[in-house]
Amino acid sequence: MTRPLIMGAVAYAPKVVTIWEGFKEYFRRHDFEFDFILYSNYERQVEAQFDGTLDIAWNSPLAWVRAQRMALARGQTVRAVAMRDTDCDLTSVLVVRSDSAVVASGGLSGLHGKTIGFGALDSPQANLIPRDHLRTQGLLAGRDYTARRFDLLSGKHGDHIGGERDAAQALMAGEIDAAWMIDGNHLAFSREGVLPAGATRIVARTGAYDHCNFTASPDAPTDAVDRFVGLLSDMAWDDPDVRPLLELEGLKAWRSGRTSGYALLARAVDDEKFYDAKGNILAADYRY
């Protein structure tokens, strides 16, 4: 029997099992041997890319940054080989209540002395990039504003979005003055009623960044990875057997992997001292 291509994925929600079992059947229909291993956190998954366990990993943007740093420190190479159309050019937004004094003041000056809600410690979109954005605007936590972190399910790099949802609820309850979230979640929370229509305003937006990618491990078999990427690219939105999988995974089409969209996060990782240049974990209160 042909050795399967082994992929790692993080089980941030029950639907993850359904998604990858579906992908496994899709690959099998195309005579491609594929299997997956689920991890409880991205740190273990990234490390498994360097001990021969995984050929490829469905990595968060933060996991990509760590994998790239670990590879460079070892004189090896990892490759971002594919990503979703929805992974490209995202932004995070800082949201306040529509009646907030922050809105009346205009700009970010109204945030001085306020309490700002962030997502999980390891969330690229709701903690690392937002903190870095405020820093570039001259605002530091503990000096200019109070940071309140909604630290749920550490190790999953904010994929579960629970911290963002909790921050949004705290905002509407008047417990905090502003909350960071990825732009798509601002819209989703409005549809859910967590942030009622017209009840919030955006007062800041980060620069654009990319999200997840399939990362090929240093020793991954090139032919198998290429076949994997080719089969992903062949997944068509109008195929009734494929569309449910794409919907569950939140995309309409797979794109080639790119790394140009991780510069903001790489800077934030350094500024927040989350990883060092070799991918070692520096964040003292990070538990996964």
Calpha distance 83→231 (Å, rounded): 13
Residue 189 amino acid letter: F
**Which residue from 171, 285, 216, 156 is spatially nearest to 7, judged by alpha carbons?**
216
Q: Can you give the residue ranges of every domain in the chain?
A: 5-87+211-271, 92-205
The yes or no reply on domain 5-87+211-271 and CATH 3.40.50.1100 is no
Calpha distance 21→19 (Å, rounded): 6
Q: Do domains 5-87+211-271 and 92-205 have the same CATH topology?
A: yes
**Please, are residues 217 and 13 in contact by the beta-carbon 8 Å criterion?**
no
Calpha distance 65→60 (Å, rounded): 9
Calpha distance 86→150 (Å, rounded): 25
**Please, are residues 248 and 235 in contact by the beta-carbon 8 Å criterion?**
no
**Please, are residues 214 and 59 in contact by the beta-carbon 8 Å criterion?**
yes
Question: What is the pTM (predicted TM-score) of this model?
Answer: 0.95
The one-digit pLDDT tens for each residue of the chain (288 residues) are: 689 999 999 999 999 999 999 999 999 999 999 999 999 999 999 999 999 999 999 999 999 999 999 999 999 999 999 999 999 999 999 999 999 888 756 678 899 999 999 999 999 999 999 999 999 999 999 999 999 999 988 899 998 888 999 999 999 999 999 999 999 999 999 999 999 988 999 999 999 999 999 999 999 999 999 999 999 999 999 999 999 999 999 999 999 999 999 999 999 999 999 999 999 999 998 999
Calpha distance 84→255 (Å, rounded): 6
CATH class of the domain defined by 92-205:
alpha beta
